Amino acid sequence: MLENPINTLYPINEVFQTIQGEGIFTGVPAIFIRLQGCPVGCPWCDTQHTWEQQPNDEVALSEVTEKTQATSHWANATAEQLVDLLKQKGYTAKHIVITGGEPAMFDLIELGQVLEQAGYQLQIETSGTFLLKVTDATWVTVSPKLDMPGGYMVRPDCMKRADEIKYPVAMQKHIDQFDRLLATCPPREGVSIALQPISQRPRATELAMKVCIERNWRLSVQLHKYLNIE
Ligand X SMILES: Nc1nc2[nH]cc(C(=O)O)c2c(=O)[nH]1
160 is in an annotated binding site: no
- How far is 201 from 143, CA to CA, in rounded Å? 18
125 interacts with ligand SAM by CB under 6 A: yes
Surface-to-core class of residue 95, CB atoms within 10 Å of its CB (0-12 exposed, 13-18 middle, 19+ buried): middle
What is the per-residue binding string for ligand SF4 in 36-75, x denoting contact by CB under 6 A?
--x-xxx--x-x----------------------------
How many residues touch ligand SF4 (CB under 6 A)? 11
**Partners of 168 in the β-ladder:** 196
**How far is 149 from 143, CA to CA, in rounded Å?**
16
34 contacts ligand SF4 (rule: CB under 6 A):
no
Q: By CB under 6 A, name the binding residues for ligand X.
A: 18-22, 32, 47, 99, 125, 224, 230
Q: Is 144 in the site for ligand SAM (CB under 6 A)?
A: no
Counting beta carbons within 10 angstroms of the beta carbon of residue 62, is it exposed (0 to 12), middle (13 to 18) or buried (19 or more)?
exposed
Q: Are 40 and 153 within 8 A, CB to CB?
A: no
Instruction: Between 80 and 176, name the residue whose CB sits nearer to ligand SAM.
Output: 176
User: From the list ligand SAM, ligand SF4, ligand X, none, which binds 166 (C-beta under 5 to 8 Å, kind-based)?
Assistant: ligand SAM
Encoded one letter per residue, x for contact with ligand SF4 by CB under 6 A and - for no contact, window 108-127 reads: -------------------x
Which range of residues in 94-102, 156-164, 190-198, 221-229 is near ligand SF4 by CB under 6 A?
A: 94-102
CA distance readout (Å), 27 to 120, 220, 221, 227? 17, 11, 12, 11
Binding mask 137-166 for ligand SF4 (x = CB under 6 A): --------x---------------------
Comparing CA positions, the residue from 109, 133, 137, 106 lying closest to residue 123 is: 137
Whether the bond into 101 is cis, omega within 30 of 0: yes
Is residue 197 part of the contact set for ligand SF4 (CB under 6 A)? no
By CB under 6 A, residue 29 contacts ligand SF4: no
Asked if residue 144 belongs to a known ligand binding site, the reply is: yes
Q: How far apart are CA 140 and CA 138, in angstroms?
A: 6
6, 27, 44, 66: which one binds ligand SAM (CB under 6 A): 44
Give the list of residues 6+ apart from residue 35 with CB closer than 8 angstroms, or none.
Answer: 10, 11, 12, 13, 50, 98, 99, 100, 101, 102, 103, 105, 106
Residue 212 counted as an annotated binding residue = no
Which residue ranges make up the annotated binding site? 19-21, 34, 38, 42, 44-47, 99, 101, 143-145
